[in-house]
């Protein structure tokens, strides 16, 4: 292989396989992208000099290898390619109908032999076959039809409803209807002149006045929103009077009640988010009308009829409404009597009548739904201030010349009157003099109290000194007894340790069951002996204990 061929092969490989980036180049590329996103570095520029948005994802901005082998930054592959754009017909172009206005006077070569038109052949001619064709007669040439071409339209052209419509055609229809209307008016005027001449018009006027008197009856009127024909028996529903406001125009808020255009129904109240009372507005939704008046009672009656029919009663709401109403009324009375008897039997068996006779919830919890707004200083800004809850007892009743109620004074665990500091209920008020007397009595009582305390302390000291003398002699005896018990416990512990050591030398399978277990609780002396005799591995002098 020559050098030139090797260079060409290397260039082809470079175009097909991109060079692998080093780790340092990759890091620098990512840092540059971050700087461009933050606006600290200028954006990339394509071949047309336009800036490339650094926030565009890589799968959109990356160029496929088969579009641009140079790998230059560009967004040209994301834009519509001009060479692939299809040429669409302009808006307004449509298929031509009919025939051309120019008619040939002589036969042309290649034309239809029957009618002489150039747009079709003899076998495709739709005219009646002539005895002598236009090719031989040279007269009666038919006009050429317009050549139907295939129009290539864009999105809007395909969906244009009025494309190809001729407004002159509409004017022709309007003129035709105008002529028919004029003819009707002419006939009506002629008929009126004939009736005036014959005298029949006066009789018709008398009949029309009688009809106007009969119009006061509702049966002669057509219901609004209905078109009834006795011959066809057709009723048009869900139509409104032209003067009424449409349901969807009552509240233009998009978050208001939903309007179904198919059934023309608006079930919820359109004024629900405005805070208006449903009884004050002119229209409060279909459900408001549906569940108002006797609708609910009629539905309950119908439900009762179905339940009664299942139980075996032959009743029907439409067939026999009187019988059903009487049966329903008797059922309600019997049901109320049964509930009352059931309630009385439960109360008689389990009790609890006092809970049913409890006062209302507002009195028990002192809670209401009245809104009161206070300022930061406690003044009422909005609403009425909450009244103080009163109990069932009489309040603020002053007796025996007292200016304060009983319980307004507290001292040393006793209640009294604040005006005279008297601790006796229903006593006569002595005022300030009573306070001074109480203070003097209290001072005397305090002195007596402290003298009594000192006497009690002296008695306690004498008792303690006597007990201390007795306890000294008793303590010596207790210590001697404790020493003797400890000696016995130490000897017993030594014997137990020897026994345990002997048992551990035997095989466990030959050792008696529960031989190392004692049932009784050890005494304090035995516990002390155990602590003194037990072996401690962490003791540095443990190795010298056996020597």
Q: Is the pLDDT of residue 267 over 80?
A: yes
**Residue pLDDT, tens place only, 233-261:** 455 555 677 778 888 888 888 888 899 88
Residues 244 and 280 in one domain: yes
Distance between CA 268 and CA 279 in Å, rounded? 14
Residues 68 and 31 in one domain: yes
Is the per-residue pLDDT at 404 higher than 80?
yes
**Within this chain, do residues 288 and 336 fall inside the same structural domain, yes or no?**
no
User: CA 316: distance to chain centroid?
Assistant: 42
Give the domain-ending residue among 274, 292, 310. 292
Q: Do residues 112 and 46 share a domain?
A: no
Euclidean distance between the first and final Cα of the chain, in Å? 103
The string of DSSP letters for 478-508 reads HHHHHHHHHHHHHHHHHHHHHHHHHHHHS-T
Q: What is the CA radius of gyration of the chain?
A: 59
pLDDT in tens, 460-471: 777 776 666 666
Residue 374 domain-assigned (yes or no): no
Q: How many C-beta neighbours within 10 Å does residue 269 have?
A: 21
Q: How confident is the model at residue 305 (pLDDT cuts 50, 70, 90)?
A: very high
DSSP assignment string, 339-388:
HHHHHHHHHHHH--HHHHTPPPHHHHH-------EE-TTS-EEES-PPPP
**Which of residues 146, 163, 178 is at a domain's end?**
146
Q: How many helices (H) and strands (E) does the chain have?
A: 14, 4
User: Strand, helix or coil at 415?
Assistant: strand
Query: Does 91 reside within a domain?
Result: no
- Domain-embedded: residue 383: no
Is residue 543 in some structural domain? no
Length of the chain: 547
For residues 99 and 325, give the distance between their C-alpha atoms in angstroms, rounded to a whole number. Answer: 79
- pLDDT above 80: residue 508: no
Mean of pLDDT values over 386-404: 77
Inside any domain, residue 522: yes
Structure confidence at residue 519 as a pLDDT band (50, 70, 90):
low
pLDDT on residue 19: 67
pLDDT, mean of residues 276-288 = 81
Would 529 be classed as within a structural domain? yes
CA 322 to chain centre: 46
User: Which two three-digit tokens encode residue 196?
Assistant: 């005036």
Range of the domain at 266: 210-292
Facing residues of 260 across strands? 265
Whether residue 333 lies inside any domain: the answer is yes
Q: Are residues 287 and 215 in the same domain?
A: yes
Question: Of 140, 106, 111, whose CA–CA distance to 125 is shortest?
Answer: 111
CB 412, CB 442: distance < 8 Å = no
C-alpha pair distances (Å), 471 with each of 128, 413, 461, 462: 156, 41, 15, 14
Does 338 map to a domain? yes
Q: Residue 74 is encoded by which pair of tokens?
A: 């560009």
Q: Is residue 295 within 8 Å of 312, Cβ to Cβ?
A: no
Contacts of 330 (CB under 8 A, 6+ apart): none
Total structural domains within the chain: 6
The tokens for 165 are 């419509």
Q: For residue 216, what pLDDT is reported?
A: 40
**DSSP code of 414?**
E
Q: What is the pLDDT of residues 90-136, one digit of tens each?
A: 877 888 877 888 888 899 999 999 999 998 999 999 999 999 999 99
Q: Which of 47, 79, 111 is the last residue of a domain?
A: 79
Alpha carbons 326 and 405: distance in angstroms, whole number: 65
The alpha carbon dihedral of 55, 57, 58, 62 has a sign of negative
Both tokens assigned to 411: 């001292």
Question: Quick check: 194 pLDDT over 60?
Answer: yes
Mean pLDDT of the chain: 79
> Distance between CA atoms of 428 and 408, rounded to whole angstroms?
15
Check if the beta carbon of residue 112 is closer than 8 Å to that of residue 121: yes
**Same domain as 325, residue 310:** yes
Which of 481-494 are b and which e, b meaning 16 or more Cβ less than 10 Å from the residue's Cβ?
A: eeeebbeebbeebe
Measure Cα distances from 462 to 376, 448, 457, 469 in Å.
65, 22, 9, 11
Q: Are residues 310 and 253 in the same domain?
A: no
222 or 519, greater pLDDT: 519
- The tokens describing 137, both together, are 């007669």
Q: What average pLDDT does the segment 175-185 reach?
A: 95
Task: Quote the tokens at residue 192.
Answer: 């009126």
Q: Which helix (H) or strand (E) holds 261?
A: none
Cα gap 181→170, rounded to integer Å: 17
Q: Is 162 helix (H, G, I), strand (E, B) or coil?
A: coil
Residues 73 and 19 in one domain: yes
Residue 212 three-state SS: helix
Arithmetic mean of pLDDT, 406-432: 83
Q: Which residues, in sequence order, are CB contacts of 32 under 8 Å at separation 6+?
A: 41
């Amino acid at each position: 292989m020559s050098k030139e061929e090797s260079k060409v092969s290397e260039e082809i490989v470079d175009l097909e396989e991109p060079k692998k980036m080093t780790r340092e180049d990759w890091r620098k590329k990512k840092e540059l992208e971050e700087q461009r996103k933050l606006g600290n570095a200028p954006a990339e520029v394509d071949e047309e000099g336009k800036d490339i948005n650094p926030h565009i994802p890589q799968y959109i901005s990356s160029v496929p290898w088969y579009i641009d082998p140079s790998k230059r930054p560009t967004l040209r592959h994301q834009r519509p390619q001009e060479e692939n754009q299809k040429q669409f017909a302009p808006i307004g172009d449509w298929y031509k109908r009919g025939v051309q206005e120019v008619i040939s006077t002589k036969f042309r070569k290649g034309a239809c032999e029957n009618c002489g038109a150039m747009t079709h052949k003899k076998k495709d001619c739709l005219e009646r076959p002539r005895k002598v064709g236009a090719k031989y007669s040279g007269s009666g040439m038919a006009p050429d039809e317009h050549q139907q071409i295939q129009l290539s339209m864009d999105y809007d052209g395909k969906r244009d409803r009025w494309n190809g419509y001729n407004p002159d055609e509409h004017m022709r229809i309007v003129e035709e209807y105008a002529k028919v209307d004029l003819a009707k008016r002419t006939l009506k005027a002629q008929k009126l002149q004939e009736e005036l001449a014959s005298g029949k018009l006066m009789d018709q006027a008398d009949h029309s006045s009688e009809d106007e008197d009969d119009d006061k009856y509702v049966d002669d009127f057509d219901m609004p929103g209905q078109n009834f024909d006795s011959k066809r028996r057709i009723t048009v529903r869900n139509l409104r009077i032209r003067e009424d406001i449409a349901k969807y125009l009552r509240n233009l808020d998009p978050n208001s009640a939903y309007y179904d255009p198919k059934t023309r129904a608006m079930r919820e109240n359109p004024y629900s988010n405005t805070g208006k009372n449903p009884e004050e507005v002119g229209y409060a939704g279909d459900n408001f009308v549906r569940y108002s008046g006797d609708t609910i009672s009629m539905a309950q009656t119908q439900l009762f009829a179905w339940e009664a029919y299942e139980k075996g009663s032959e009743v029907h709401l439409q067939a026999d409404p009187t019988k059903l109403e009487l049966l329903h009324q008797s059922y309600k009375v019997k049901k109320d009597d049964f509930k009352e008897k059931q309630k009385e039997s439960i109360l008689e068996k389990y009790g609890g009548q006092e809970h049913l006779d409890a006062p209302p919830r507002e009195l028990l919890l002192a809670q209401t739904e009245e809104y009161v707004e206070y300022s930061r200083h406690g003044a009422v800004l909005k609403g009425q201030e909450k009244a103080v809850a009163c109990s069932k007892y009489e309040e603020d009743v002053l007796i025996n010349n007292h200016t304060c109620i009983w319980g307004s004074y507290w001292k040393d665990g006793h209640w009294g009157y604040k005006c005279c500091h008297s601790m006796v209920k229903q006593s006569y008020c002595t005022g300030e003099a009573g306070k001074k007397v109480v203070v003097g009595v209290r001072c005397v009582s305090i002195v007596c109290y402290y003298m009594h305390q000192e006497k009690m302390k002296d008695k306690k000291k004498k008792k303690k000194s006597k007990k201390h003398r007795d306890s000294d002699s008793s303590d010596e005896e207790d210590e001697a007894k404790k020493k003797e018990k400890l000696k016995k416990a130490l000897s017993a512990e030594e014997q137990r340790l020897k026994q345990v050591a002997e048992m551990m030398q035997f095989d466990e399978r030959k050792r008696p069951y529960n031989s190392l277990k004692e049932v009784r609780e050890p005494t304090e002396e035995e516990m002390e002996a155990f602590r003194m005799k037990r072996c401690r591995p962490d003791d540095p002098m443990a190795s010298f204990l056996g020597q």
